[in-house]
């Protein structure tokens, strides 16, 4: 009887494998798994990481949208960064350093036509103007008549932007060397044909144009308070204080019209050099003579003030370098982000369910 029942059960199991009664060997029958571990008919229903095919398509559709939003934000931020850089450059030009082109030969061979110099506008906030300084000054009201008309705001803004690359058009700016400071007695010439300052002769061979005499025009001027006596290094062609003696101030220019001190030639590259004060203006006798003159005494010590003067361009450079470096880093990060967004996403690895009966690595 038992044997017969067993035979019927085996036959019923073979006829209906889904009945769950088991197999002849005593194990329950299981449906065959696909190569990825899923049941037949469900292959591909789940993607890598358990994400369904529909979710994967939605994620793929979101990638172009994210890429477009990144691109739009970049093109919105780029003009903002450019405007910020322009405003920063205008602030630096107005208060710290400005570039000037040399338009004439009055300062040859120290400065040649086409040279580009940087002018430090902050140096005279820390020290007085020294003899031997090469200064840029505005001649309006001294050498040139006052301009009564004021340019429109847009014209002034445009001139300021152009001035970032050199002297703005229509500005009465001159560049000369300071020979006498307030209280100095400047005269030409002694028995040797030299210009004297407070009776001390100047040895000008290091900067005077070759073949030029110190001056062919005779003069004897005591520089008024708050004014300067300036001359070009190419004396035969320079229309400087000597040629304006008929004007108020006897050809001198106001100190408050000085834009700044030219301290370096930056272009062309072959002409690059620092514009230092010649040694003749640092003679001990010149400083002593100025000290005995009274008002000129404190400003007649270029050697003592030189460390302060040299630190001003360095400090200005740091002030300029910090925000520009920050701006450069921002631009680099944005460019790197846009390049990463333009690359195609990496292909996902195909995940396979490990067969429990397949021998693995120990």
Residue among 337, 360, 300 at smallest CA distance from 73: 337
Please pick, among 106, 215, 241, 316, the residue that the annotation labels catalytic.
Answer: 106
Q: How far is CA 165 from CA 41, 171, 302, 313, in A?
A: 73, 14, 31, 19
To the query of whether residue 106 is one of the catalytic residues in this protein, the response is: yes
Q: What is the DSSP letter of 128?
A: -
- Residue pair 135/176 in contact by the 8 Å Cβ criterion: yes
Name the β-bridge partners of 221. 186
To the query of whether residue 176 is one of the catalytic residues in this protein, the response is: yes
- Which single residue is written with the structure tokens 């031997």? 132
Please pick, among 93, 116, 176, 257, the residue that the annotation labels catalytic.
Answer: 176
- Residue pair 184/198 in contact by the 8 Å Cβ criterion: yes
CA–CA dist 178, 133 (Å, integer): 5
Q: What is the DSSP string of 164-204?
A: GGSPPTT--EEEEEEEE-TT-EEEE--TTS-EEETTEEP--
CA–CA dist 299, 64 (Å, integer): 68
Phi, psi of 174 (to 5 degrees): -130, 155
Alpha helices for 51-120 (secondary structure H)? 53-95
Cis before 178 (ω within 30):
no
Q: How far is CA 198 from CA 104, 297, 333, in A?
A: 30, 12, 61
Phi, psi of 273 (to 5 degrees): -170, 160
Contacts of 291 (CB under 8 A, 6+ apart): 297, 300
- Residue pair 96/320 in contact by the 8 Å Cβ criterion: yes
Mapping DSSP onto H, E and C, the string for 222-235 reads ECCCCEEEEECCCC
The catalytic site residues sit at 106, 176
């Amino acid at each position: 009887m038992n044997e017969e029942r067993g035979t019927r059960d085996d036959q019923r199991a073979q006829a209906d494998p889904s009945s769950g009664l088991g197999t002849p060997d005593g194990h329950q029958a299981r449906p065959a798994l696909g190569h990825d571990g899923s049941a037949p008919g469900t292959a591909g229903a789940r993607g890598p990481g358990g994400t369904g095919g529909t979710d994967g398509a939605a994620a793929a559709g979101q990638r172009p949208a994210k890429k477009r939003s990144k691109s739009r934000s970049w093109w919105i931020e780029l003009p903002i960064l450019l405007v910020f850089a322009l405003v920063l450059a205008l602030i630096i030009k107005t208060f710290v350093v400005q570039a000037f082109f040399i338009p004439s030969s009055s300062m040859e061979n120290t400065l040649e036509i086409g040279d580009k110099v940087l002018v430090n506008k902050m140096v005279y906030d820390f020290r007085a103007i020294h003899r031997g300084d090469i200064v840029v000054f505005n001649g309006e009201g001294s050498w040139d008549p006052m301009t009564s008309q004021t340019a429109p705001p847009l014209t002034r803004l445009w001139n300021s932007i152009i001035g970032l690359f050199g002297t703005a058009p229509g500005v009465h700016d001159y560049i000369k060397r300071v020979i006498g400071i307030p209280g100095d007695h400047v005269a030409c010439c002694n028995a040797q044909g030299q210009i004297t300052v407070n009776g001390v002769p100047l040895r000008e061979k290091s900067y005077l144009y070759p073949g030029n005499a110190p001056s062919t025009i005779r003069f004897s001027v005591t520089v008024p308070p708050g004014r300067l006596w300036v001359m070009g290094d190419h004396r035969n062609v320079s229309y400087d204080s000597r040629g304006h003696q008929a004007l108020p101030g006897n050809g001198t220019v106001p100190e408050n019209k000085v834009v700044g001190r030219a301290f370096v030639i930056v272009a062309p590259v072959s002409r690059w050099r620092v514009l230092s004060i010649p040694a003749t203006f640092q003679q001990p006798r010149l400083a002593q003579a100025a000290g005995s003159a009274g008002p000129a005494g404190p400003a007649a010590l270029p050697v003592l003030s030189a460390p302060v003067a040299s630190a001003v361009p360095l400090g200005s450079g740091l002030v300029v370098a910090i925000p520009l470096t920050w701006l450069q880093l921002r631009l680099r990060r944005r460019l790197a982000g846009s390049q990463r967004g333009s690359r195609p996403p990496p292909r996902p690895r195909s995940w396979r369910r490990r067969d429990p009966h397949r021998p693995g690595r120990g």
